[in-house]
Amino acid sequence: MKTVTLNNGVVMPQIGYGVYQVSPTECERCVSDALSVGYRMIDTAQAYHNEEGVGAAVKKSGIARDELFLVSKVWISNYGFDKAKVSIDESLHKLGTDYIDLMLLHQPFCDRYGAYRALEAAYKEGKVRAIGVSNFYPDHFIDLASNVEIVPAVNQVETHVFDQQIEAQGYMKEFGTHVMAWAPLAEGRNNFFTNPVLEAIGKKYGKSVAQVPLRWLIQRDVIIIPKSVHVERMQQNMDIFDFELSQEDMAAIAALDTRQSLFFDHHAPEVVKMFMGWR
């Protein structure tokens, strides 16, 4: 398992298993399968409503806690210092753990400064080992990172071959912050799994269309959390460390970038209005 070292010295697996859109009833089984095939980082969130399933799978796995890396996120309805502090304790309880390895702010809206101060407090209290943000575009990120005590260790953002976050990653590096990709397989959108460039490169290395862009992200020093509910695909998504893409192939994939989200533009007024309805 390849790892990255965060800006506070914490070592984190570069590939993990994400449980976004995994139902609470299915989550325990899926996480158990992921752990059985070798995943040691699990990414969840308060808004996913499946932290208990993650905690149950971890408890039953018999794997030592210090061999696992748990990630969760504070939802915007829990923003503000006091509410965020309470919600972090609730996440600890649901996950059945004394500490969370990485805790993020889920969205760049509402009282993000108050919520981030709660993350800093939890970090100082040893309740979390590292803190960061999610879905913060460069302007959101630079503003926050320049005005807090503890610079975010991670920014989890939509990152895949069609929205590559090249410029954003450059800004993150200035702060020593790692990019963590959600939807690294674009959830199959934009004919992802039949893309001729990815298909051709996959044939060259004897790899699937999914494995090629995951390897591309790994070589870009991006943390990834591919999701599948099928154990065979979970294994396949991890089987990306026995080959290396050439610079020519990296460039061919880079040319697929549209610099546009396939999901949410966090600067669009209608998107912001939608999130305000999810408070």
Tokens found for residue 10:
């914490």
The reply to whether 48 belongs to the active site is yes
Tokens found for residue 136:
């913060």
| 185 vs 79: CA distance, rounded Å | 30
Alpha-helix runs per DSSP H in 158-279: 166-174, 196-205, 211-219, 231-238, 247-254, 269-277
Crossing angle of helices 81-95 and 51-61, rounded to 10°:
40
| 4 vs 237: CA distance, rounded Å | 18
| 159 vs 116: CA distance, rounded Å | 23
| 40 vs 67: CA distance, rounded Å | 7
| Active-site residue, from 48, 79, 116, 171 | 48
Contact 65, 38 (CB under 8 A): no
Tokens found for residue 145:
């990172």
Mind telling me the catalytic residues? 48
